[in-house]
Structure 1
Amino acid sequence: PGSFEQTSFTFLGYTFAPRTVSNGRSGVFTAFAPAISDAALKKISGEVRQWRLHARTGYGLDELAARINPIIRGWLNYYGRYGRGKLMPLLKRINGYLVRWARKKYRRLASFKRVKQWWDQLLGRCRGLFCHWTWTGTFVWIR
């Protein structure tokens, strides 16, 4: 491989660049593969921030899920097709906003220990409530 002036390009919200990929059987190799572009990720993150989920304490969990699931599902279907790993910080941020919402709505969840216990019970009880939870598993939402 030589030294080239441009090694990536952006098209339709994807950045095509050399990335390490797995072929499933014999290991990893470098390929020119797409993943969500930094500009698209920044735009989506800004939109999630504008939702101000943490301030919507008048809503219940079901209402929040009904509001945001169609949007998140669309993003996951479009941008999650390739380079899923680049979406994980966004999904983690959404979970963080949901935890902030719970801490504001239910004041008894102010301590870390209690909110963590609530979060674990919620994931066990309502596994499919938010569509991005099928991707994220049970990872901790802390930054």
Structure 2
Amino acid sequence: MMLRGRLRKRLAECKLEMSPGKTKVVYCKDRERTEAYPEISFDFVGYTFRPRKSFSKEGELSVNFLPAMSGRAAKAIRQTVRGWVKYYGRFYRSAMNCIATHVDLHLAKWVARKYKRVHGSLAQAYEWLRRIQRARPGLFAH
């Protein structure tokens, strides 16, 4: 492929080389580039770059080629947190309640910003979360 050859040559000038197993050419599909190609995403330093829905500057919903946390990074974070809970919760688990309270606070702040039904009210956001927790007890691990 001509593009790979040019990339290989440019990297060689910088005393770098391409890894055949890791290097791939990706089509950056978005609202203006709509063709179908087999490779439209890639992972790099903990992010997955791929087409995602977002709002344009004009406020319209469109597709852009954007990064977000990769699935592997999310899994690593979950496993790390699980390890912390397992380690610090081994003795006197209720001492970790302050962390659960902190997580609830940030969830409530997010809900208050995200959903109009709670009108930016932290108290209403907390109550909304409590109703969800009562209805689905296994939903929130903390």
TM-score range for the pair, normalised by the shorter chain length: 0.3 to 0.5
- Rg larger in 1 or in 2? 2
Question: What is the TM-score when the length of structure 1 is the normalising length?
Answer: 0.45
TM-score when scaled to structure 2? 0.45
- Looking at both structures, which has the greater relative contact order when contacts are Cα pairs under 8 Å and sequence separation is at least 6? 1
Structure showing the higher helix proportion among its residues: 1
